[in-house]
Amino acid sequence: MSFSQACQDVIDRFIEMLWLELGLSENTRMSYRSDLLRLAEWLARSEKTLVDASREDIFSFLAARMKKGAKSASSARMLSTLRKFYRYLLREGVIQEDPTLRIEHPKVGRLLPGAISEAEVDRLLAEPDISLPIEARDKVMLEVLYASGLRVSELVGLQLYQVNLRQGVLRVVGKGDKERLTPLGEQAIEQLEVYIKGVRPQLTGGREDGVLFPSLRGGEMTRQTFWHRIKLYVSRSGIAKNVTPHTLRHAFATHLLNHGADLRVVQLLLGHSDLSTTQIYTHVAKARLQQLHSKHHPRS
């Protein structure tokens, strides 16, 4: 088997995992593939492959990209891709040591405000290492937050009894003690089921009641703690934006509207009592559509 074919095969298996296990979009998978092919081509000059790359190789590759003008955010995103790839190879027994360990993320500078795109959500949700119970918990929290548009206080306060996986809904108590049923998408439902059966018992000592997403001490996580967990994954992913729990609630609403959802439906899902509160998201969605029109329309 030629090097190029062997390289392609290992990348293909990784990309397939991104789809089957993480449900990443085609655009995001293409981005991962492109990053890995760049590294493979660079390694080939020294007659090395992705599988036998060392920490020094990875460091030199990133340094060479920076020297050629790659921005810090781009380099951080590249390192995020490589970390995920080598964690996968380690998990599969293909390698014995992760060459990306102890390589620090480049500083991405001042974070930019603004909405987060669907591709950026994909990258953020793919960042937690699900082989670690704490990060597996965080992964599901991010999935549920983006799938439901919950307020962060509603998310960290969720109790196990509020989850109905059979019907695919959460029973949420929002502002003013108003109760609403919030649907979940297939991915969030599947990941919640795996989490409740396999991960949560590791965090609670097997207790079958209480908070859905416990802290390290087994109690309710604070909003500040979850905010810091998000910051960790944003930093790893190289997303150069100020992402908070509310950013994902904002993205939930904006992305629904971008795909044609009715404003009143979004109002119900967000738990807004006043439609005017929801209308702010239509301005963001319209601005995004205008931006796309200006960029791509031949007469713009």
Active site residues: 151, 175, 246, 249, 272, 281
The answer to whether residues 232 and 126 touch, using CB atoms and an 8 Å cutoff, is no
Backbone angles phi, psi at 182, to 5 degrees: -115, 120
Secondary structure (H, E, C), the chain: CCHHHHHHHHHHHHHHHHHHCCCCCHHHHHHHHHHHHHHHHHHHCCCCCCCCCCHHHHHHHHHHHHHCCCCHHHHHHHHHHHHHHHHHHHHCCCCCCCCCCCCCCCCCCCCECCCCCHHHHHHHHCCCCCCCHHHHHHHHHHHHHHHHCCCHHHHHCCEHHHEECCCCEEEEECHHHCEEEEECCHHHHHHHHHHHHHHHHHHHCCCCCCECCECCCCCECCHHHHHHHHHHHHHHHCCCECCCHHHHHHHHHHHHHHCCCCHHHHHHHHCCCCHHHHCHHHHHHHHHHHHHHHHHCCCC
